[in-house]
Every structure is written in structure tokens, then in C-alpha cells.
A and B are shown apart, each in its own frame.
Chain A
Amino acid sequence: MIRNKRRRVAGMAAILVVAVMTGCAGSNDPKPSAASSSASSSAAATATAGASPTQASEKEPVTLKLSSDNALFMATLAPGAQHDPVMEEIRRKTGVTLELDTQTDDKKFNLMLAGGDLPDIIVLQNAPKYLKQMIEGNQVIPLDELIEKHGQTILKESPSKIEISKRFFSNGTGSLYAIPGIASRKGPQYKYGNHAYNIRWDYYKELGFPAVNNLDDLLKLLADMQQKHPTNAQGQKVYGMAPLFDWGLVPYEMFDRLFDRINKNNLFVYLEPGTFKAAGGILDPNVAYWEGTKFYRKANEMGVLDPDSFTQKYENFTEKVKSGRVLLSPWTWAGVTEANAALAKEDPLKGWEPLPVPAGQTVYLGEFGENGFSNRLIMISKNSKHPERAMELIDYLQSFEGSRLIQNGIQGKDWDVVDGKPQWKQATIDAQKNDPNFSQNTGIGLYWNLAGFVDGYPDPEYGTPINFTNQADFWRTQMTELDQDYSKHYGVSYPGELVEKRVEAGEIRTIYYDMDNELGTDTSMPDDIKRIETKVTDYLVRMAPKLIYAATEEEYASTQAKMMDELKGMGAQKAIDYWMANMTKASETYAGLKK
């Protein structure tokens, strides 16, 4: 009886286990939903292809997957195949349905790597961390033969990219594993509004355009503005500035960039523009951290520093910009553009513009790399069943034609050639201004990170920047009343021209970082240096409030002296030496490349 009972209990337990296992096994079958969606998309591709046979891709439709180890797209997209016009066009041209992993994440990438589970195409951003592992673990395939057969456009248009990749991104094997994307060249900008002193233009005007020749003048200007406008329309207190201390060392970047130094936050070893030779280091009292804390201390003393600065998040900051609670923003994308749109409805002459930088300071243009970026390495995984089709797709995306499509949309629909010059259509321009879902609806700009050439890179076919909106002729037609007012005041035809004129006159200089200088960097940072750097960075972030809230200059100096001793005790010198040697080597490699 008992044995019988026992058997029945065991049997039931077994049923429970089997039920669970069947559930697992059952899921091996392809899901109808996913299968049907990809089937329908390839059907759609074939249908469109059939509609215009002249340009149709006659290749068999395939589906390829793409992922990365970090954020890659310009908007929140649903994962999987995309159906915006630009992606449809890519599908039509290449016959490839690209399924995107839009929830890219470093930890997830690590798991995929460990599981040998990489998708067909990978856009690697953190090369120092993963490149070696991927090549040594045979997770990605060499592209030397594939590119000969299926990547002729890249070979023709970007031969130097290939050479550089073989030399620097092959883990010493000399083979081609990666195509570095988003090649760019510095060019004129509409406003030079990033890494700049963006202020309320209407308030500046109200004060009679006082001259700002140095940082003290800037503080005085902010204090005067604050005095004139102590509260916003809602009665909330207004402050001159609210630096984003939540972002660690970011609030100190401008003290390099505006003062003729290329910012590198590795213990504040900075680079000299042009040659990229290393100098500085946190033990030097003139580097950005100390300059920055001194400036913020003075701001606090004058009452223009928002006491909320140390606790606010990015959202709080942009809200302050938009609601007029702060009077300085370093980037146009941090609330300034939206604030301008909202203020224009009240009064077209209200809004934010970049304050011309004082003579002698520098305008930082950004990072550019003619040979692509080392943090956009496009690779094909060994798991790909269609490596040749993946190569063809990469060949298309990385070509001038593909890059043009990604940034300007479809010829005839979004842009046209007028008098030999490519131009966005009026409808496209209007949609960009008025449609909040412009990118998702048109696909324009969404896949910027997959393009071979971006922004100011000259398009050889038309002789204009590859992003057709990146030129003065276009800007002149796009000016808001506020921009016109600003330009009129300075006697220029669009805001950015002021910077160009001043550079010509020798008043100011522009500086930029050439990503080719990254090529010679030693990416395997020793563990002890890593430890020191983390410790020092944490310490600097933690001590910043103490320096900034120092009541007097003497108190600041004594805190700084104490900190210098502490930093020495932490071994900061050793890490500085490491970075000096590393960056010096990089600049030598760079000099060799440019010969």
C-alpha cells in the first residue's frame, strides 16, 4: 500500500517535471508572431522592390541582426525590423531586413559574448574592453576576402580606413576585422552652441550688451541678470548657473575647452591642440579641476550658484533652463532648443544665444576623425549565416550613397538637387521644425551611427557636406527672429559666422580633437592605475563642494593644499605618469600618421 502510494507521488512529481520540460522544449519552435512579422516584412521588401524594378535589389531577401554594447540610435525605437522610409530604402537597395537590437546594454553585450551569441553585425563602441576578446575568441570573422568581393565601395571610397583598421583594430594580426564608421571633418557650425556660454539674449540686450572679457565679467553679467530677474514667471528663484555636478567631472570640461586645451578627464592630463601632446595632471594647480572649482567658488560667493547644483539631475537642469530658473547652459541640446521654441511663442525676440567667447579664449568644435571613430567599429560575427550579405550591407551603409540616405532621407522625396546643389525639400524642413516625431516618421538621422561619413564630411558628388543641412546657405534660410536679431547685432549673416569672422581676425581660435590621435593609445590600462584613477576621481568629486563652498580664498587654498597632499598619498603621480607616457606615445603615433 505504502509502496503504491509512493509510486503515485513520484509519478506526480515526474508529471510536474515533464510539464515544465515540455514547456521549455515547446518554445524551441519558432513563434508564429515573430516568424510572421519577419515574413511580412520581407514580403513588403519584395513588394517594394517589385514596384521599381530599375533599382530593385534582385538578391534573395535575408534578415540580419545588429547589436552594440552601448546606446546607438537617436530615438527610442522598438526592437526588431524597422519600417521607417529610410530603413525601407536600405532594404530595397540591399535586400536585407535589418533587425535592430535597440536595447543595447554593456552587461547584455557581455552575456552575448560569453554565450557565443553575437548577432550578424556588431557596432563595437568600447573597443578597449572587447576588441581583443572578440578577435582572440574567434567571435568575429576576418573581412579581408569578403571586402574584396563584396565591399568594393569601401575599398574605393575609404582606403585609409582599411589600412588603419588592419593596423590598429586587428589585435596585432594585421587582418581586417572592423570598419570604423562615422568619419567626419570639422566644418562651420550654425551657432557653435555646444561647449559654449549660452545665455538669455533678451536679458543681455536689456543690460546693454556689456563687454565680457574674462570669467569675472561673465560672473558679473550673470549676477546683473539675476538681479534684474530674481524670480521667473512662476515666482521661483533664478540663479546665474547650476552646473551638473551629478555628472562627475563634466562641469570642469569647459575650463579646458575654452582655454586652448583638449579635455581628457584622466586625472586632468590635457592635450595641446594640433599636436595633442600631453601636459597638466591633477597635481598641477592650473588644470581644469582647480580652475573650475575656483570659478564656481567665486560664483557661490556672489550668490549666482544654484545651491541645488550638487543634488540636481539632468532633468532638473533642463527644466530650470526651460522655466527660466537658470541663466547659463553649456550645451544647446540641454534644454536650450526647447526653451527657445517655447519662448518664441511668447515673444520672438526672447530666448537663448551663445555669448561670444572673450578674445583669447577658444571655441571647441568637437571630435572628428577622417578615418572613422575607434568607438564605432562595425564587425561581422562568426555566427552570421550570410556574412557576404552582411558585408554588402555594411558596404552600402558606409558608402557616400548610404550616408547620404541616412542623413538626408530619400532623393526625390525628402531632398532634391537644385542647380547642381542638393537641398532638403521645404516639406522636409517644415516637418523637422514642427513634427516632434520627425526622425521616427522619416527615418532621417535615426541611423546616424551606422553611416560611413557624417555631418561636415564633404560629399564628393556634390561638393557639399554629406549632411545637406550643414551649410551656410541652408542656415541663412532657417533663422528664427531671435537668430536674426543676434546676427544683425554682430553684423553677420548667421550666428556661427561671428565665430568664423573672429577666427579670421585672429581674435579667437577654434580647437578640435582628431580621433586619429586615439589610435596610438594603449588601451590595456594596468589594474593599479585603474584603481588609483577611480579613487582619485571619487575623491575629486566628493571634495568639490568643500572647495566651492569655501568662504574665503584662503580657506580654498588651504583645502587645496590638503587635497594635494592627499592626492599624492593616493599615488596620483603614478597614474599621471602613466597617462603622460601613454598620451605622449599616442601623439607620436599621430604625428607619424599625419606625415
Chain B
Amino acid sequence: MWPGRWHDVLFHTLNTAFFVLFALCCIYPFYYILINSVSDPLQVTKGVYLWPEGFNLTVYREMLSQKTISVSFWVSSARAVVGTILTVFSCAFFSYLLTKKEMPFRKTVYRFVVVTLYLNAGLIPWYLTMKMLGLKNSFWLYILPTVIVGFFVILMKTFIEQIPAALEEAAVVEGAGYLTVFAKIIFPVSLPIVATITVFNAVNQWNAWMDNLFLVNDPNLQTLQLTLLNFLKQSEALAQETTRRMMGNQTSGHLISPQNVKMAITMIVTAPILLIYPFMQRYFVKGIMLGAVKG
């Protein structure tokens, strides 16, 4: 198995060593967060680097039993799942329609969608539009504005265009309509790109918090990311004179949450989305490649 020549051995050794080191560099931050989140709070303040010190899961138990966290966990999950399903389906179907020559103004419509990739109205117009659409304090704010994403439409349309026309024609001859063709032929054939979009969108949805901050104040619609952000922001806020004045005047108060609480939230926030990658990865790589080559 091993190549006979010594410099090949050397190369492989160095190569492996390099990549193992590289992999460790990637994994260690996560590992660090993990061991800190399951260690004794006092030990954490002193620094935990290799193994968990004073192993306990109290923080997780406490965090997950807090209503805020569990509610926001479900909100984030719901937006990731519902949002992704709707986005993937809508982008796919819309892209399919764009490939149909019979669709009126399809080029203009397509260009309008592509333009959104380059031009952005800014925060205030976005805020006003969402408010006028009645999306303020609504779960649909998380879903509807991103139902059609220009980037996904380009990827999808390019992919559909390179599917041999014969496939579709054969079905049409058999009497299939647009919906049947889309559901039974186009969508199944496009699975690689669908998987790509799914991963992209699920990650985006899971990580989003701006819409929540600006437009949703309902405690039952808080996303996990914003909850996490609030915990993390506490120490940043201290850099401001006002907050320090606030604290200086207070005789007591526990404003800053302990380090291992922050670590635990970080874990709770990152773990679910990490699980998506392994399942989607094989499609993901293939999908990106296909889209890229034909683009």
C-alpha cells in the first residue's frame, strides 16, 4: 500500500500530519465550547482547556427548562423547517416556470428577480414594507420575505435548463400537465440542487435574527439566535458608559451571565444545524458542481 520511495513516505506523513492538525484546528473551538459548557462554573472561570473539569450538565438542564429557551428553540426549528420547505418548493417551481417559453414576460420577471441580488433598498424601506404587509409581530415574517431568493432561482433555473428536454416531452406526450411534469420529473431529477438550496436556506433561516430584533417583540416568537445574542451582548453593553453607570450605581446585581452559560447556549444553537451537513453533504457537493459548470 505504502509507496516504496522514502520521499513518498515523508510526503504522506507530512500531508497526514498537516491535515490532522488542520482538522484539529477546526474541531478544537467546538470542543472547547463543549467542555466549557459541561464543566463546573468555577473551574470555567479558571480556564478549562483539555478535559471537562467537574463534569455537570446543570447548565443544560437549567437552560432547556427555561421557557424562553425552549420556546425560541421551537420557533427557530419551525422557521428553519417551514421556511426551507416553502422556499425550496417555491424557488423550484418558479424556476421551472421561468424555463417555459409559454410564460408571459418570463425574461422581464427573471431579470427583476436577478436584480434583487445586486440592489437592496436598505433597512428603513424594508422595515416599512414588512410593516405594511402586516408581517410585524408575525411568524410569517420569518418565512414569506425569503420565499423567493434570487440566488436560488438562478441556481435552480440553470439546473433545470440542462435537464434533457426529451424527458419532459415524453411525459407531455403521455398527457402529463405542468404540475405532473414538475412533481414527477423535474423535481426528482433536480435533487442535487434541491439539496444544495435546502442546506443553504436551512442554515440562513437558523442563523437569522435581524428580522426578529427589528420587527418581532412577541415573547412567543423569539428565535434562538436573538436569545443567544442577548446573553452575549451583555458584556459588550458594559463598554458603554451608560451601562457602567447603571451598574456602578447598583448596590448588587447579577448582570453578566457566567461563561459556561454562554458556552451552553452556543452549543444549543450550533448543534442542530451541524447535524444537517452530514445528511446533505453528498448532494451538496454534487449540486454546487453541476450548477457551477453549467452556469
Q: Tell me the A residues contacting B by CB distance below 8 Å.
A: 2, 5-6, 8-10, 12-13, 16, 20, 23-28, 31, 33-34, 37, 65, 70-71, 74-76, 78-80, 99, 101-103, 105, 107-108, 110-111, 114-115, 117, 125, 184, 190, 194-195, 232-234, 236, 246-248, 250, 313-315, 318-319, 322-323, 331, 333, 337-338, 342, 366-367, 375, 432, 436-439, 445, 448-449, 454-455, 467, 469-470
Query: How many whole Å from B94's CB to the nearest CB in chain A?
Result: 6
Find out whether the CB atom of A31 lies under 8 angstroms from the CB atom of B138.
yes
- In the complex, A24 Cα to B123 Cα: how many Å? 19
Query: If A16-B94, A71-B243, A194-B248 touch, does A78 touch B178 (CB 8 Å cutoff)?
Result: no
B55 at the interface (CB under 8 A from A): no
Do B246 and A10 touch across chains, with their CB atoms under 8 A apart?
A: no
Contact of A454 among B141, B214, B249 (CB under 8 A): B249
In the complex, what residues of A have CB within 8 A of residue B221's CB?
31, 33-34
Answer whether A9 and B235 are a contact pair too, CB < 8 Å, given A79-B217, A315-B259, A323-B45.
no
The answer to whether A34 touches B246, judged by C-beta atoms less than 8 angstroms apart, is: no
A234 to B47, CA, bound (A): 9
B residues 37-92 near A (Cβ < 8 Å) are 42, 45-47, 67-68, 90
When C-beta atoms are compared, the residue in chain B nearest to A194 turns out to be: B248
B158 within 8 A of A: no
C-alpha spacing A315/B226, complex, angstroms: 20
Q: Which residues of B contact A318 (CB under 8 A)?
A: 45, 256
Proximity string of chain B (158-193) to chain A, C-beta cutoff 8 Å, 1 when within and 0 when not:
000000000000000000011100000000000000
Q: Name the residue on A nearest B235 (C-beta).
A: A314
* A12 to B92 Cα, complex, angstroms: 13
Tell me, yes or no, whether B21 is within 8 Å of chain A by CB: no
Does B252 sit at the interface, judged by CB under 8 A?
yes
Task: Spell out B's residues near A (CB within 8 Å).
Answer: 42, 45-47, 67-68, 90, 93-94, 97, 100, 102-104, 109, 123-124, 127-128, 131, 133-141, 143-144, 147, 177-179, 213-214, 217-222, 226, 230-231, 234-240, 242-257, 259
- Set A8, A25, A26, A248: member contacting B178, Cβ < 8 A: A8
Asked whether A34 lies within 8 Å of B137 as measured between CB atoms, the reply is yes
Minimum-distance CB pairs A-B, first 5: A27-B138, A28-B134, A80-B219, A6-B102, A323-B46
| Cβ B124 vs Cβ A114 within 8 A | yes
A471 to chain B, nearest CB (A): 11
Residue among A313, A315, A331 having the largest count of chain B Cβ atoms under 10 Å: A315
Asked whether, in the complex, the Cβ of A26 is within 8 Å of the Cβ of B140, the reply is yes
25 contacts between A and B (CB under 8 A): A2-B102, A9-B102, A16-B90, A23-B140, A23-B143, A31-B221, A70-B242, A74-B246, A75-B254, A80-B219, A99-B217, A103-B217, A108-B214, A111-B123, A115-B124, A184-B249, A194-B248, A248-B239, A314-B236, A319-B46, A319-B47, A331-B244, A333-B248, A375-B242, A448-B250
- Nearest CB of chain A from residue B240's CB, rounded to whole Å: 7
CA distance A322 to B222 in the complex (A): 33
Nearest residue, chain B, Cβ from A33: B220
Q: Give A263's nearest chain B residue, CB to CB.
A: B241
**Contact, CB under 8 Å: A78 / B47:** no
**Which residues in B have their C-beta under 8 angstroms from that of A108?**
213-214
Instruction: Give 7 new A-B contacts, CB below 8 A, not counting A78-B222, A101-B217, A115-B128.
Output: A5-B102, A23-B140, A75-B254, A232-B46, A333-B253, A337-B252, A445-B253
Q: Is the CB–CB distance between A111 and B124 below 8 Å?
A: yes
What is the CA–CA distance of A108 and B131 in the complex, to the nearest angstrom? 13
Which residue of A is nearest B45, CB measured? A322
A34 touches B218 (CB 8 A): yes
Nearest residue (CB) in B for A11 is B178
Whether A432 lies near B252 (C-beta < 8 A) is yes
How distant is the Cα of A24 from the Cα of B138 in the complex, in angstroms?
Answer: 9
Q: Is the CB of B218 within 8 A of A20?
A: no
In the complex, which of the residues B103, B127, B237 contacts A114, with contact meaning CB atoms closer than 8 Å? B127
